[in-house]
């Protein structure tokens, strides 16, 4: 799409023209959005709610590779992963701002694709795009998103609330986004070595979608409300299960026991990991980008969630002195590290 024949140069529009052009289809969906794009600041009104704010910056060549990520998907993913942070606080996202810096390698059409993806995610999750900034960069594309959400004070869930004996739960399954990335990287290498060859991605739909078009778990947020379960702590899995568990334990001043055999891994993730000579557990622990919710609940809430196929109990919270440990399938105990996989990598050596 970067080679569109009717390419419109960014310089033809100018900054104000570009913002207007890219945001012309933005419609306000939330009552709390008093004024969106077009003034010095957006104006929001949350009445008696508390407000949640989260921000993320994505850099070409570091966080994404446009040689295999379509810009529309990138726009969608950028929004989804930011909303994920608000759901991880048990809140409801309401507004986003999006700032981009682009080099002149990009056409207006390319940025339209990006904004189409952004807009699709806004519609799907019911959030309003209320502001942003557009500027030049010397190399590549940089996207910075800030999301605002709301919650009743008593509903907000911090990372710090886990209590001893709480159950450690995770939504969905893990490691898929990482395996999707491995697959895309492999096909890219093949393409570099043999230009013109078609990528062989058939049969990998699930892990590709996990990597290219992840969703924020609004459904889990809604489900927990329906089941009347308020987690004691929660975080979304962006850096990998191990890293997120340590955040919860550190901030809650607890330890934990995690059971390898309980970690939910999709068969396609499992098979692909094996094919790539990777340990599926390692991928789940440290792969990252799954954007599932990791949370703790009181033991007394177990009956409410136990039959739900989208929630898996993977361990429990212990006292801080016990540390954060993983019990592997053979019953051996490993210390969980920030990288998540030191012990496991050794096991595979």
Question: What is the Cα–Cα distance from 132 to 67, expressed in whole angstroms?
Answer: 26
Q: Which is nearer to a second copy, 270 or 291 (CB)?
A: 291
Residue 284: how many other CB atoms lie within 10 Å: 31
For residue 264, give both structure tokens: 């939910």
Q: Which of 21, 26, 28, 63 binds a second copy (CB under 8 A)?
A: 63
Q: Which is nearer to a second copy, 157 or 177 (CB)?
A: 157
Residue 71: how many other CB atoms lie within 10 Å: 23
> With binding defined as CB under 8 A, does residue 108 bind a second copy?
no
> With binding defined as CB under 8 A, does residue 136 bind a second copy?
yes
**Cβ–Cβ < 8 Å for 81, 213:** no
CB 309, min distance to a second copy, A: 25
Pairing of strands 167-171, 293-297: antiparallel
Question: What is the Cα–Cα distance from 128 to 252, expressed in whole angstroms?
Answer: 33
> With binding defined as CB under 8 A, does residue 61 bind a second copy?
yes
Binding mask 155-194 for a second copy (x = CB under 8 A): -x-xxx----------------------------------
CB 213, min distance to a second copy, A: 21
Q: Which of 74, 81, 91, 285 binds a second copy (CB under 8 A)?
A: 91
**Cβ–Cβ < 8 Å for 10, 106:** yes
> With binding defined as CB under 8 A, does residue 47 bind a second copy?
yes
Q: Count residues near a second copy (CB under 8 A).
A: 67
CA 176 to chain centre: 12
Stretch of 19-27, 128-136, 317-325, 327-335 contacting a second copy, by CB under 8 A: 128-136
Q: Which is nearer to a second copy, 239 or 301 (CB)?
A: 239
> With binding defined as CB under 8 A, does residue 128 bind a second copy?
no
Stretch of 33-41, 113-121, 202-210, 325-333 contacting a second copy, by CB under 8 A: 33-41
- Residue 184 has, within 13 A of its CA and on its CB side, a CA count of 21
> With binding defined as CB under 8 A, does residue 140 bind a second copy?
yes
Angle at alpha carbon of residue 134, lines to 132 and 139, rounded to 5°: 135
Q: For residue 85, with 0-12 CB atoms within 10 Å meaning exposed, 13-18 middle and 19 or more buried, which class applies?
A: buried
Q: Which is nearer to a second copy, 142 or 224 (CB)?
A: 142
> With binding defined as CB under 8 A, does residue 148 bind a second copy?
yes
7-44: b or e for each residue (b if 16 or more CB lie within 10 Å)? Answer: ebebeebeeeebbebbbeebeebbebbeebbeeeebeb
> With binding defined as CB under 8 A, does residue 229 bind a second copy?
no
Binding mask 284-323 for a second copy (x = CB under 8 A): ----------------------------------------
CB 9, min distance to a second copy, A: 17
**Cβ–Cβ < 8 Å for 137, 101:** yes
Element (H, E) at 224: helix 218-226
Angle at alpha carbon of residue 308, lines to 307 and 311, rounded to 5°: 125
Can you give the binding site for a second copy, defined by CB under 8 A? 14, 16, 34-35, 38-48, 50-63, 84-86, 88-89, 91, 95, 97, 99-101, 130-133, 135-140, 142, 144, 146-149, 151, 153, 156, 158-160, 234-236, 251, 338
């Amino acid at each position: 799409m970067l080679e569109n024949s009717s390419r419109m140069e960014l310089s033809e529009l100018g900054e104000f023209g570009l913002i207007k052009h890219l945001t012309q289809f933005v419609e306000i969906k939330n009552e709390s959005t008093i004024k969106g794009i077009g003034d010095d600041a957006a104006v929001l009104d949350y009445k008696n709610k508390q407000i949640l704010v989260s921000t993320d910056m994505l850099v070409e060549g570091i966080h994404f590779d446009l040689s295999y990520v379509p810009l529309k998907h990138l726009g969608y993913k950028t929004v989804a992963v930011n909303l994920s942070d608000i759901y991880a606080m048990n809140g409801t996202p309401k507004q986003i701002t999006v700032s981009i810096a682009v080099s002149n390698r990009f056409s207006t059409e390319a940025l339209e694709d990006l904004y189409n993806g952004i807009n699709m995610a806004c519609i799907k999750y019911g959030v309003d795009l209320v502001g942003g900034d557009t500027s030049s960069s010397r190399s590549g594309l940089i996207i910075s998103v800030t999301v605002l959400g709301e919650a009743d004070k008593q509903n907000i869930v911090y990372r710090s609330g886990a209590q001893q004996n709480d159950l450690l739960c995770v939504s969905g399954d893990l490691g898929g986004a990482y395996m999707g990335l491995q697959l895309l990287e492999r096909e890219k290498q093949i393409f570099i070595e043999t230009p013109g060859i078609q990528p062989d991605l058939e049969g990998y739909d699930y892990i590709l979608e996990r990597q290219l078009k992840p969703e924020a778990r609004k459904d889990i947020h809604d489900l927990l409300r329906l089941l009347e379960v308020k987690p004691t702590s929660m975080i979304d899995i962006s850096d990998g299960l191990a890293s997120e568990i340590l955040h919860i334990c550190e901030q809650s001043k607890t330890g934990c026991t995690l059971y390898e055999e309980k970690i939910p891994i999709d068969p396609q993730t499992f098979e692909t990991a094996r094919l790539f000579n990777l340990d599926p557990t390692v991928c789940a622990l440290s792969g990252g980008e799954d954007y599932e919710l990791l949370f703790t609940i009181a033991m007394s809430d177990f009956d409410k969630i136990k039959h739900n196929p989208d929630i898996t109990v993977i361990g429990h919270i212990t006292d801080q002195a016990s540390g954060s440990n993983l019990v592997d399938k053979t019953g051996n105990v490993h210390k969980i590290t920030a990288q998540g996989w030191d012990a496991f990598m050794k096991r595979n050596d």
